[in-house]
Amino acid sequence: MKKIEQITELLIEEIADFKKSVDKLESINNISKSTKLKVDFTHLNSYMNNQFNNILSNIKVQNEKIASLESAQKAHKIIPKSYIWLYSISILICISTVAHAVYYFKQTPTIQQNAYEKGRNEVITHFSKFINHKPKIKEEYEKWIDQEH
C-alpha cells in the first residue's frame, strides 16, 4: 500500500505541476493575444522611397541624354561640308572644261584659216627668196607659167 500511496502522491504532484504549467501557458497565451505586434516599416519605406527617387532621377537623366542625341542626330548633316565643296569645285572644273572645249571648237575654223594663210605666206616667201636667189630657175619658172596660161 505504501507504494500505491507514493505513486498517488507522485501523480497528484505531477497533476499539480501540470496544472501550474497549463495556467502559466494560458496566462502567456492571454498576454500574447492581448499584445499586438507592430512591425516598423518606416526604415524600409524610406529606403524604398530613396531607391525609387534614384531610379526616377536616372530615368530623367537618360531621357535628357536621349533627347540631346536625337536633336544632335536631326541637326547632323548627311553630307559633310568638305564633300559639298569638293563636289562644287569638280562641277565648276567640268563646266569650265566643257566651255573651253566649245570655245576652242568654235575657233577651229578661224585657227585653221590663220594657219593656212601663215603657211601659204611662208611658202611663198621661201620660194620667192629661192627663185630670186637663182636667176636661171627664175627664167625657167616664168617660161613654165607662160606655157600654163
Q: Residues 128, 138: contact at Cβ < 8 Å?
A: no
Dump pLDDT digits (tens) for 114-124: 889 999 999 98
pLDDT of the residue at 96 = 96
- How far are the Cα atoms of 91, 94, 112 from residue 98, in angstroms, in the given order? 11, 6, 21
What pLDDT is recorded for position 79? 74
Name residues whose C-beta falls within 8 Å of residue 119's C-beta, 6 or more positions apart in sequence: none
Written as nine digits, the cell of 103 is: 570655245
**pTM score, whole prediction:** 0.34
Question: Tell me: the pLDDT tens digits for 86-114?
Answer: 999 999 999 999 999 998 888 888 888 88
Question: Which stretches of the chain drop beneath a pLDDT of 50?
Answer: none
